[in-house]
Amino acid sequence: MKDFAASHPIDTRMAMPPTPPISDDHLIRYLLGALPADEVERLDERTMVDDELAARLRLVEDDLVDSYAAGTLTGEQLQRFEAFYLVSPGRRGKAAFAKGLQTAVERATHQPRPVQKVTTQPSRHIWRESWWPLATAAVLILAVGVLFLQNFTLRRELHETARQIEDASQRAAAASQQIEVERKAAAAAKQALVDARTAPALAVVSLVLVPQTRGVTSVSIVAVPPGSSAVPVNLTLEASAGTAYDVALRDPASNRTIWRSSPLAPDRLRKIPTVPVSLPAGLLKAQHYALDLFELRSGSAPEFVSSYAFEVVRQ
């Protein structure tokens, strides 16, 4: 039992009548909410009225919180501490303070220093003088610790920011490249269409395509001269001609329609009726293509008529 009465700075005018001594363990149980309600009330009153007990309770509480901060609390005490004691924001603050104090003390005493030997009871003046160098050292160590911590935090933040900037730059560059590719493709397609529309009409030089049949037939070859903007083609019709058609240029490799004509009128003057169509030369690469012919009828969807295969050769 600690002798508080001998040295307690608070006067003991409020001394209680003699009561059974209360152990530290009992006070810990009181702090951890492990006592029955009537005992809690009794201690509530005593710790309010009894100066000695109030002081002891505070020391026991600090020791308890320090043990938690140091990680030395175990078993039921640890469970109760976390489940009961840490419920209150004020007590959580005490625990956080204890942890901080521990860290500050560890930093201040990081470098081993010889323990000062005191063989006699020196006067307060002498004691104060002998501790001055240690005090200065502690201040310096604390200051260096804070600076080091701040430096470390700033470096970490700087590094993180630099990494984020680099990531963002890479993403921006990739997006920029993608946009450029798409812009070029769109410009090429647009130019091809413009060229096709504005190109002077070339004479149709009997480039006649016949519908594909199931039998193995040779594929027509379309030679595209350099500088051509349009490739005129006549698609022969197997049956009697309708009134209007349109044509879709399809890439067989991807089965994707890459161009579609405006409505076309059949040429009925020929012996075998044909549908003339002018293909944009800029879209045509050296590969196989298919032209799908649809008959347009009012009030109904376009009706597939036939497909014409051909191979482009760039000259």
Partner 1 sequence: MSVVTLDRRDSGTSGTSFTRLLRWLDDGIDSKGERYLEIRRRLVAYFDRRNRSAPDTLADETLDRVSRTLEESGRIKVTPPARYCYVVARFVLLEDIRRSQREIPFDETRPISLDPAANRAETDEAAERSLQCLTRCLNRLKPEDRNLIVEYYRDAKRQRIDRRRELARGLGITMNALAIRTWRLRASLEACVAACRNRR
Integer Cα distance of 65 and 86 in angstroms: 10
Nearer to partner 1, 106 or 182 (CB): 106
> What are the distances in angstroms from CA 120 to CA 75, 86, 116, 127, 188?
42, 44, 12, 11, 98
Nearest distance from C-beta of residue 191 to partner 1, angstroms: 52
Integer Cα distance of 304 and 298 in angstroms: 14
- Residue 160 is a binding residue for partner 1 (CB under 8 A): no
Decide: 222 and 231 in contact? Cβ < 8 Å.
yes
- Residue 190 is a binding residue for partner 1 (CB under 8 A): no
Nearer to partner 1, 70 or 174 (CB): 70
Taking CB under 8 A as the criterion, the residue among 134, 172, 187, 313 binding partner 1 is 134
Within 12-51, the residues that bind partner 1 by CB under 8 A are 13-14, 31, 44-45, 47-49
Query: Which residues neighbour 91 within 8 Å (Cβ) at sequence distance 6 or greater?
Result: 65, 85
Decide: 259 and 285 in contact? Cβ < 8 Å.
no
SS3 call for 204: coil
Within 77-106, the residues that bind partner 1 by CB under 8 A are 87-91, 93-94, 96-97, 99-106
In the shown chain, the binding pattern of residues 101 to 130 toward partner 1, with x for contact by CB under 8 A and - for none, equals xxxxxx-xx-----xx-x--xx-x--xx--
- Residue 143 is a binding residue for partner 1 (CB under 8 A): yes
Q: 4-25: buried (b, 16+ CB within 10 Å) or exposed (e) per residue?
A: beeeeeeeeeeeeeeeeebeee
Nearer to partner 1, 66 or 251 (CB): 66
Contact segment (CB under 8 A) with partner 1 among 11-19, 174-182, 197-205, 256-264 equals 11-19
Which pairs from 213-218 meet CB under 8 Å and 24+ separation?
none
Nearest distance from C-beta of residue 2 to partner 1, angstroms: 5
Size of the site for partner 1 (CB under 8 A): 65
Nearer to partner 1, 87 or 188 (CB): 87
- Residue 10 is a binding residue for partner 1 (CB under 8 A): yes
> What type of residue sits at position 276?
P
Radius of gyration of the chain, Cα coordinates, nearest whole angstrom:
48
- Residue 149 is a binding residue for partner 1 (CB under 8 A): yes
Short-list 266, 286, 265, 262, CA closest to 274: 266
**Half-sphere exposure at residue 161, Cβ-oriented, CA atoms within 13 angstroms:** 6
Residues of this chain that bind partner 1 (CB under 8 A) = 2-4, 6-11, 13-14, 31, 44-45, 47-49, 54-55, 58-59, 62, 66, 70, 72, 87-91, 93-94, 96-97, 99-106, 108-109, 115-116, 118, 121-122, 124, 127-128, 131-132, 134-136, 138-139, 142-143, 145-146, 149, 153
